[in-house]
Amino acid sequence: MKSSSLHSDLHLDVQGDIAVVRLMRASKRNALSDGLILALRDTFDNLPSHVRAAVIDGDGPHFCAGLDLSELQERDAGQGIHHSRMWHAALERVQYGPVPVVAALHGAVVGGGLELASACHIRVADASSFYALPEGSRGIFVGGGGSVRIPKLIGVARMTDMMLTGRVYDAQEGERVGFAQYLVPEGEALAKAMELARRIAENAPLTNYALMHALPRIAEQPADQGYFTEALISSIAQSAPEAKSRLRDFLEGRAAKVSKS
């Protein structure tokens, strides 16, 4: 087990082939400062090469309550664009980084915290989780990629409603509309996220990479281009030595068959 930190508000704990990345600003409900966003970027850029999956968690009772408004500055349009693009680049390293990322959600998943969660590949929420986008009532707009990622989870109409009216979704409603793929009892999100991360780490790395990098792009392509890209990625993945070994294990009865658990 190896623990380290690139920033006082972010902790990296490497447990075997799983990296646990924890926001450490519990006194501020893990609100995201620019320093913390840059530390997230740097952490995912520098994960140890043996790591196969990652979990993002928040210290204390909340995952992340959004942007640290104490850092909100008056900016001209050009400065605002550069600031937003800095967030985009950082969260892109979560979504399109080296390994799949599971978010362990609890308490507030609000504003920038929801933008961070939406950049992860799998979201596990516990019963204390709630989701909101208060930017609309504060006279601002999402700037960390939320207008791209969140509608892909819940649809444009629901995101519009959240920002226009301040609607808050609780954990059960959030799972129903698509914020999270898993819902667990309060206090159990991290354990479930770790369970999933360990399962993900067992996959062939090239298959995981294709699911992270190719699948979302295929989904954006016109059908004829998507089919062609799928054919390319499928042929590359199945040509990997590990894929060939796994297929032989299955055909020769050494691999478990799919069953309803």
In order of 146, 201, 205, 257, the CA distances from 254 in angstroms are 44, 19, 20, 9
Classify strands 2-7 and 18-23 as parallel, antiparallel or unpaired.
Answer: unpaired
Residue with tokens 């985009």: 88
Tell me if residue 135 is catalytic.
Answer: yes
Question: Is 43 in contact with 14 (CB distance < 8 Å)?
Answer: no
**Token pair for 261:** 């658990």
Q: Taken in order 191, 196, 202, 204, is the CA torsion positive or negative?
A: negative
Q: Look up residue 240 and give its amino acid.
A: A
Question: Is 150 in contact with 111 (CB distance < 8 Å)?
Answer: no
SS3 234: helix
Number of H helices, E strands in the chain: 11, 10
Select which of 71, 135, 173, 175 is catalytic: 135
Select which of 74, 115, 175, 202 is catalytic: 115
Tell me if residue 115 is catalytic.
Answer: yes
**Token pair for 93:** 């390293």
Angle between helices 77-95 and 112-119 (to 10 degrees): 40
Catalytic residues: 115, 135
